[in-house]
Structure 1
């Protein structure tokens, strides 16, 4: 049903994009509000906002004065630039086929199409554009804007995810408030334009680097049938509630949560860890993103959030620690949640009255830890029941370098790696030779330090390999960045459960 226009409008639609640069594969989720322009309030009980997303119309590669209606599916498969694949009609496409086909042959010789390249594209029919729902039919009256551009309607939803075919094109969002009872417009049309869509940056690989295994004493023998190895990832992913007041060196489009979550998830899944410990996981992001996404990847999820919440404009949220484990390898045996401010409360109360106030401000931090005891499942070939249990402590402690005593009150695999004499020079340069710590796991505008650790018990676990570190050269542009979506870097180590030793007679 067509929206009826009125001569005057009582409302105004306000649209804000946190970044005007869209990225292929990353959802654009605008902030939209409706305010009153006059003395009468907005009829919140009976209005809605209609959304229409448009993209610049493609031009025929043969006839520059005509709009494209047909795209060559072979060009899409070969990732040939879209401008070379568009034609104004099927007849135009067939007439130019002999010359056009040469592009396919040249591109095939230059590159090999990978399975990954195929999966990220939604191939179009060579005879027409994709079918749209009846509500998404092109509105002829809205295909021209004030600048004389031609537009194709691509979505009637509030949000939009740019596709590969949108690369290099400008997007436009039209919003209007509508009275549901009378179907009349309550506001003027709000038009919001983006910059051209950019490609998602290619990931930088971080391989696992094996460590030399310590030779076992011949005077001891094992009581377990087989070795059991597992990997664990620790990653402070930078909660979105902490990105609004700093990180000016990072381009705004790479700070948007919809981009960072996509990049973080891609990185986390690629590491393929058996146990994942994430810190600074925003409470709503755990529920509506990380938990469902990693559940699809075969993980079970546990979460402990902080107590102090902040208002983000539409809800109260906080951050916390999230632990994920492979459900085909482990089951939860026990769980314990730690709130460090409760642990420090008896200490503060035991002080002299004139010292309590300062000690309270100094020690009472809203940091938390999540402790879970995992038991390996029966097919993991571990004989001893106690030996088959792993205690995983996922802790987010105070990071302020001025408060080392607070860290000590609240509380490494990479150090054992740093002792390996066979370490390559490239890896050696990423370690502090005095402390045997990584050169950095955190970088901000103020300082770069090692703030992240994976601690383990030496008598029951042995380090098999660690995730390659980054150095100052790798993060020269600062953190976060388009490549690395947190101000911390991920740490990962694979461990072997040491067999229970006894003297051999």
Structure 2
């Protein structure tokens, strides 16, 4: 027991020297955190055989919308599916609410195959992100984005965002207006045959959704695909149909 206390006291001294070297504006917070945690360790962990230090950033440690939370979910999902798809040579369709706008890190990771987190908003002073596998080799394309390459659909282009090549919106509330939902597919193994027509903003009104007419705050997305023959699988873009908008429009 005495040895354990001695180790903790020595750890306290080492940690305190680090805290004392901090800038004055954060020195008090660090000292308070250290004192509180060491006191707790004396009371609770009296039979410990090891000490574990968990460090967090005071700037973004409690930010629920920080880079790490969303990009890690997407990275683990896609990398996991990549292992399955490559081992079995199967086509993939990934669809859902990604809670990420077009051009964001999660979106770029899916469609571009990589995300350069170091150059983005992420605060990574220790360079931890460089050891993460933020890339994949799947040929993933957004189904609605692929529509812009087709002909004879000028009527529907106004429902798309020309800068992002995604729908102008898929979520519309009194606090948010934009695109969060996607249908991604492997274009080397699948061909888009048809898409559900996007909703007119005028038909929803200015108050957002849900409403008595629209039961969800997200609009519906739908796509019909055709399999490429396995011998013709290739990474090049698929031959887009002349008019993919022949599914019934939402009314």
Structure ranking higher in helix proportion: 2
Does the alignment reach a TM-score above 0.5?
no
TM-score, normalised relative to structure 1? 0.23
TM-score, normalised relative to structure 2? 0.44
User: Which has the larger Rg?
Assistant: 1
Structure ranking higher in strand proportion: 1
